[in-house]
Amino acid sequence: MAGKLINMKKIALLACTVLLLILPYTHSKEIFVENGQSIQDAINASMPEDKIVILSGVYKGFRIDKTLYIEGKDAIIEGGLEILANNVTIENLVIKDALYGMEIKSSGNAIRNCTIVNCSNGLHIEGNENEIVGNKLFKNRYYAIWVDYCYNNKIISNQIYENGNGIYAQHATNCLIDQNVIENNEAFGIRLQSCANVVVKNNDIRNNGKGIYLCCRSENNLIYQNNFIGNKYNAYCSNAGGNIWGYNGKGNYWSDCFGKIYEIDEKNIDEHPAKKPWNINICRENKIYITYPVNGLSLIHISEPTRPLYISYAVFCLK
């Protein structure tokens, strides 16, 4: 009898274990949102781990307070996104006309292949261990990407151009800024303020006010194999600590370097500047974004002919 009770307990324990393994996926389903419907209503009705697919159309901004996967299919969001939950994935949205195109106030999120245009600020990050990969941020008035009091965030393979400022990181540690195109931003391409142990590598940084700007005791950051070309100041330091400007004998390319070293100040010297630009293989897609009129709307049906189109300029792949 005792043996049977033990076996029953084992069976019950096994059943509970299987239930726990299955439970996170029992609510995983796809929810489709069509033009004219509310994304926020779909989020409110969803369960954690659900996937929300936003079909072609123009929608209002929304806030996310649970773990979701959100994918756009030629969807345009007029207004900002606020991410409050952890481990959210957002892909393929065009976001425009907001104070903040996207605010991330949580951790472990992934933002991929989105376009943020014509906002006051593009993307603001206050959480940790987020991945910002393959996005386009342009024509934003102040900051394209603003990283604030955080650690272990990754900003990889984004196109950041014609904003007031490029990437602004303050009080950030152990972050990665890798393989981005950063050009034609008015004030700076990258600014590190009170940052430590940030790695800046393999970026193409051109025609900004300041290519990279370190201040306010930013120190122990590693900056190497970047191209700094045609910026008003390729590098600028103000009250910065000592930083490392090369790795394994590989420094940065400076378009205004004519000697064997590149000295920014007494604490910041690239001892191995490259003689020619690094071959940074960044594919910049030839794509035009027309956010008005809505996809499928005939020009003869437009009631607001003076409303502007938001269009990115054509770009190319660096070989």
User: Does the structure show a pLDDT above 60 at 60?
Assistant: yes
**CA 129/CA 106 separation, integer angstroms:** 9
Map residue 101 onto helix, strand or coil: strand
Question: Tokens standing for 111?
Answer: 């933002």
Say what the pLDDT of residue 300 is. Answer: 38
Lowest mean pLDDT among 12-21, 47-56, 246-255: 12-21
What is the DSSP secondary-structure string of 177-238? EES-EEES-SSEEEEEES-BS-EEES-EEES-SEEEEEETT-BS-EEES-EEES-SEEEEEE
Share of the chain above pLDDT 90, in %: 79
pLDDT bracket for residue 19 (50, 70, 90):
very low
Say what the pLDDT of residue 285 is. Answer: 58
Contact criterion met (CB below 8 Å) for 96 and 120: no
**CA 188/CA 190 separation, integer angstroms:** 6
Q: Which amino acid is at 40?
A: Q
Contact criterion met (CB below 8 Å) for 46 and 65: no
282 CA to centre of own chain: 16
